[in-house]
Amino acid sequence: MSKKRTTPYNEGHVLQYGLEIASWSAITQQVDSVRCKFCIYFGKGGKTASARKRKVTDNIKYFTSPFRVDCYKSHLKTHSEKWAEYQSLSNEKKKAFFEQKPEKFVNTFAAHFEIGRKESIFCLDTDIVKDLLVTCYLI
């Protein structure tokens, strides 16, 4: 019978691997889960849409106990470009890295629709378009 891994949460991993605390236990006051800030601010990177067999997920990666470094590193391969940029920064610049991005990826249209799509298709009621054209013409 194998022993259950119990790697505890390490506060230093937050800055080192671009994580943020997602939840705490109300009973033990210990960290229950952390999430990937790269997923939150930049979405998934990696292969282009045409090279992939499946659609890139918009889900944010959460890590729970055991908080193992190899799990963080394995996931960060999906953010290869931003992760390489992040690793080259000093600790002071790492603290400000995610704050430079004006809008979180999860709050953008790309997070809710197909990311690799070049064009957008809108279905509008013809009466609305006619009213808009008349209004624009009168102005």
CA angle at residue 99 from 48 to 13, to 5 degrees?
Answer: 80
- Top-confidence residue, 46 or 99: 99
Record the pTM.
0.65
Q: Compute the CA torsion angle 13, 17, 21, 27 (nearest 10 deg).
A: -40
User: How does residue 130 score in pLDDT terms, banded at 50, 70 and 90?
Assistant: low
